[in-house]
Amino acid sequence: MSPFSLAGKTALVTGANTGIGQAIALAMGRAGANVVCAGRQSCAETVGQIAGARELILDLADPMAARDVFADDPIDILVNNAGIIRRNDAVDFTESDWDDVLDVNLKAVFFTCQAFGRAILDRGGTGSIVNIASLLSLQGGIRVPSYTASKHGVAGITKLLANEWAAKGINVNAIAPGYIATNNTADLIRDEARNKAILERIPAGRWGEPDDIGETAVFLASPAAKYIHGAILNVDGGWLAR
């Protein structure tokens, strides 16, 4: 079997109704995985495009929402993709814009990893986690303080969990997407000046497509990546190389 195949594996993707999460779910399905599409709203559109897929309503505004998801449902691959962003000047940033983003983007990611890791370790199995980080796991950004803090945190806990679980059969890695055209970046694309400045800095000369991330997630979840632990893999059209 190809080392890039996910046949026989079950993958759960959070935020699978749209954008990067939808592309990851579709790519995992193409690679042969059974896919569980998790979202705070229905993922029917995604489920309808993947043979044998099912959906799970999971609102990660409650960071502990996934605590019981993995105990009786053997999942091999967890993709923590769901995320939100709030934009405002640092001097005007509100506590709720801080807390809401940290809850979904960081606290939920850690406790979902914990629930997944516990289940794998309890059954003596193996598994893979792919967290969706960001360029703002590595750079400061502007007007997105809670997002930057959360994504730096995602990079940190990815490495921490890799250190704890690499020898126990669980691969933990992250993808740092560059500028990908989704709902999350629609405001930037609409802003002509920002859009031009962004494009000028991307060596590939284009915005990323959600599918660029989908195929990378398949790779990190596959046997081909078995010796990759704690990596933050940037998929950014060359942005960080500049």
Ligand X SMILES: NC(=O)c1ccc[n+]([C@@H]2O[C@H](COP(=O)([O-])OP(=O)(O)OC[C@H]3O[C@@H](n4cnc5c(N)ncnc54)[C@H](OP(=O)(O)O)[C@@H]3O)[C@@H](O)[C@H]2O)c1
Whether residue 147 lies in the annotated active site: yes
Annotated catalytic residue, options 110, 116, 147, 239: 147
Distance CA 27, CA 50 (A): 9
Q: How far is the CB of 167 from ligand X (least distance, A)?
A: 28
Cα(63)–Cα(160) distance, integer angstroms: 19
Query: Which positions from 212 to 241 touch ligand X by CB under 6 A, shown as an x/- string?
Result: ------------------------------
Alpha-carbon distances, residue 11 vs 16, 80, 109, 184, 240 (angstroms):
11, 11, 16, 23, 29
Could you tell me the maximum CA-CA distance found in the chain, to the nearest angstrom? 55
Decide whether 106 or 225 has the Cβ nearer to ligand X. 106
Q: Does 179 bind ligand X (CB under 6 A)?
A: yes
25 to 54: interface string for ligand X, x by CB under 6 A: --------------xxx-------------
Residue type, 137: S
Query: In 62-81, which positions are buried (b, 16+ CB within 10 angstroms) versus exposed (e)?
Result: ebebbeebbeeeebbbbbbb
What angle is formed at CA 173 by the lines to CA 172 and CA 176, rounded to 5 degrees? 155
Please report, as residue ranges, which positions from 100 to 119 form the binding site for ligand X (by CB under 6 A): 104
Q: Does 20 bind ligand X (CB under 6 A)?
A: yes
Closer Cβ to ligand X, 2 or 42, answer by number: 42
96 in contact with ligand X (CB under 6 A): no
Query: Residues near 173 by Cβ (< 8 Å), separated by ≥ 6?
Result: 128, 129, 130, 131, 158, 162, 220, 225, 228, 229, 230, 231, 232, 233
Of 2-10, 180-188, 198-206, 215-223, the window that binds ligand X (rule: CB under 6 A) is 180-188
Q: Rule CB under 6 A: say whether 145 interacts with ligand X.
A: no
Q: Are strands 232-235 and 170-177 parallel, antiparallel or unpaired?
A: parallel
Tell whether residue 18 is a contact of ligand X (CB under 6 A).
yes
* 63 lines the binding site for ligand X (CB under 6 A): no
Which residues are at the interface with ligand X (CB under 6 A)? 14-15, 17-21, 39-41, 58-61, 81-84, 104, 132, 134, 177, 179-180, 182-185
